[in-house]
Structure formats: C-alpha cells, structure tokens
Amino acid sequence: MDQGYSRPSIDPSSGYQWEAAGTWEQDTTMSGFPRVTHINSPAALYPSPPGSLGSADRTHSLQELTESSLISHGHSLALSEQDVNVSIDTDVADRVVSVSTSFCPGSHPTEGDVVFSSKDDVLFYVHSDVIKAACPEAFSSFLPLPSSIPGATANGAVIKIPEDAMTLNVILHLLYGSSCAPNSPSLDQLVHAIDSMPGYGITPSTFILPQTPLYTLLLSHVPHHPIQIYALAAHHKIEQLASQTSSHLLAFQLSNVTDEMAMRMGPVYLKRLVLLQAGRLEALKGLLLQPPGLHAPIGGCGFEEQRMVTRAWALASASLVWDARPDGGDADKRFGDMVDISTHRIQAAFMTMLKDLECQDCEASVTARLRDVMVKWSALKCTV
C-alpha cells in the first residue's frame, strides 16, 4: 500500500504546518509520531495522492488521507492497532477533500510549495517559482513573501482564490504551458477563465499565441462559435486569433451583432469585420464588372451575338453579387442560411451560359475570363 509520499515534518520547533492544521500530542506508543487530537485544516495536514487526467478534481475521505500520510516517513509501517495509534474524531474522518487531478502531489517532478484552494474547495498544489517564472505579476496579491506572514513558510500555505475550480485550472495550465483539454472545459468556462486573467496580473495576449495549447483549444471552437471567439480575441487584443477566426465570419450577418457584442469587440475590431465583408463584396463586383473579350466577327457570330453573350455575363454577375450581399437579398434569412461565395459557386453560375453558347470563340473567351475571376477571387484577402 506504499504510495511513496513523504510525510510532513513533525518537529514541534518547525510546526507551522502542524499548528495551522490542528493540535497534537506525543504518542507514547510509537516514538517520533504525534497523535492528532483536533484537526483544523485537513488539506494542510494530509496531502492528496495524485490523480489521473480527465477531470478537474477528485475527492478522498480524510481517513484514507490519514492512513496514506502515515505510510512513509523513512520506515515501512503496517497500519494496525498494535503499530500505530492515531485518534481522529468520527465527524472529521468522514470529511472529503477535493484535489485537482492535474495539480496534485506527484503530478509534477517536484512537489509544490503552495496550495491554492478554489471557492468550491478544490485544492491545487502549485509551484510559486514556476508561476513567477512564467509571469512575475501572476497572483502577486496572493503570493506574498513568506516573511510577510509571521512564523509562516511558503511550503504548506493554503491560499484561497475566489474562482471556481475549472477557472483556476485553466489559468494554471496557461502558466504551466500545458493543456487543459483533458479536463474538457466548455467554451463558456474558457471565456470566463480568460476574462478573469487580468484580475490576477496575467495578460491573455501575452500567453495565448499560435501553437500554444490554449490557442489550439480555442481554435477548435471556431467553426461552431466564430463570433464568440472573435469577440473574445478582440476584447483581449489577441491579433492572430481574431484574424484566423474572421475567415469564418465572411457570411455572418452583421445585423446579428448585439450591443453587448459590439461593446465587447470595441470599435476597432468591429470596423475591421465590417470592412472585411464590404471589401470582399466590392472586390467581387470589380472582378465581374469586366465582361469577356470580343472576337472578330465570323460566320454565325457577329457583334450582335457577342452583345448577347455580354448581357448573359452581366445577368449571371448580378445574381452572384446579389447573393453575396450581407443579407443575401432576403431580409427574412437567418444566420447560417447564407454561405460565402466560393469559386465553385462562381463557376456554377456561368455553367448554364457556357452550355448555351454555340460559338467556340465565344466559349473560349468566356472560359478564359471565368478562370481569371476565380483565380483572383481565391487570392483575395479573407481575414481582418
């Protein structure tokens, strides 16, 4: 049953952790081990064993944690009444302690020196040096120098953080450079965690960069929630994320932007989105404005027949431009009913026209013009 955990020091002279955790007396049965008579803070006295990925926290009974903590202290001990005499109140033993599965004892090469406790009482065993190395300002109001606490050391200190466990989990993963994806946070939880970061001295735009775990996780939500991710990126000025997300908003109806969304984006990023859509519409008009070139009159195809080809091109072009409008030409259309104009759609719009052409020269002229339009449309900028 030996799990290889180091038991805290029981030297009364260094007893800050024990004094903070409860009261004790020397056990006459076994020299060198205390007998607990009252426990104030089970979490400070009994660290939880490491958990596996997949959830934000686990719970353990205090009795389990007590037995586990007495297994290792330089001796191999069998837990029996003859060997160990530990007295614990029944109501205290029935308590459960929730511990993060990602930030628990044994989850990292070195043991943490600080314990964060979320507002829903989940414990996170973290390393102050790792946090400060990642962001010197992070949790600065919660990580004072040990000397500022009379008689205290950083090791074993339990610090209450006014955030729920998932929010704190996302923030700590960001500072550690690891992924919180195994804990399956929802988009709302991710957004709330990122919005909370500035309050703890963390600038999201400094850490949420391409190829980082949180950036990749946010991108996975873009296809289904592009406007929410764009608003988040705009609010925190995460340029790369806003740019990549904007390509999914080419057909988004700007009339669906609420006042709250507009305020969250700010005028700069809202203007960029408006200009992106308007600029692509104007570019499409410009590409389609020029009709196919004329050829020398031949038998059966003179200027009058070629003029009819030009009118057919203009009619197909007008239909495409109308469909590319932000409202799709239909004020009753809902968001999601309209798609951005693709090269396939452009080609399909002129297929009927090509099939009706009898002159090979006219067909070649229209085909060449259509190919030029599709190439230029594909190269057109589609991000803010």
Query: Which pair of tokens denotes residue 125?
Result: 């065993």
Query: Does residue 372 lie within any of the structural domains?
Result: yes
Is residue 180 within 8 Å of residue 169, measured between CB atoms?
yes
Q: What is the pLDDT of residue 37?
A: 43
Q: Is 315 domain-assigned?
A: yes
Q: Is the dihedral of CA 286, 322, 246, 376 positive or negative?
A: negative
Q: Which two three-digit tokens encode residue 154?
A: 């950083």
Full residue range of the structural domain in which residue 350 is found:
275-379
- What tokens were used for 279? 């600029």
* Calpha distance 134→171 (Å, rounded): 12
pLDDT in tens, 35-54: 444 444 444 443 433 443 44
Chain position carrying tokens 């829903």:
120
Residue 241 has pLDDT above 60, yes or no: yes
What's residue 160's pLDDT?
92
User: Within the chain, what is the greatest distance between any pair of CA atoms?
Assistant: 119
pLDDT band at 383 (very low <50, low <70, confident <90, very high): very high
List CB contacts of 179: < 8 A, sequence separation 6 or more.
173, 213, 214, 216, 217
At 218 the pLDDT is 98
pLDDT tens, 257-280?
A: 999 999 999 999 999 999 998 888
Residue 327: pLDDT band with limits 50, 70, 90: low
Higher-scoring residue by pLDDT: 350, 9: 350
Whose CA is closest to 316, among 275, 353, 279, 277?
Answer: 353
Number of domains the chain contains: 1
C-alpha torsion sign, points 205, 206, 211, 213 = negative
Q: Beta partners for 72?
A: 76
Structure tokens at 28: 């006459």
Residue 67 lies in a domain: no
Q: How far lies 103's CA from each of 107, 113, 144, in Å?
A: 6, 12, 21
Return the HEC string of 222-257.
Answer: CCCCHHHHHHHHHHCCCHHHHHHHHCCCCCCCHHHC
Task: Tell me the C-alpha distance between 359 and 160, whole Å.
Answer: 81
Q: Return the amino acid letter for 326.
A: P
Tokens of 224: 């289904």
> Domain for residue 255, yes or no?
no
Residue 244 lies inside a defined structural domain of this protein: no
Highest mean pLDDT among 10-24, 185-199, 323-337: 185-199
Cα dihedral 290, 292, 296, 298 sign: negative
Residue 70, in any domain of the structure: no
The average pLDDT across 284-312 equals 89
Is the pLDDT reported for residue 307 higher than 60? Answer: yes
**Spatial contact of 183 and 122, defined as CB atoms under 8 Å apart:** no
Higher pLDDT, 339 or 175: 175
Q: Would you call 136 exposed, middle or buried from its count of C-beta atoms within 10 A (0-12, 13-18, 19+)?
A: exposed
Mean pLDDT across the chain, nearest whole number? 76
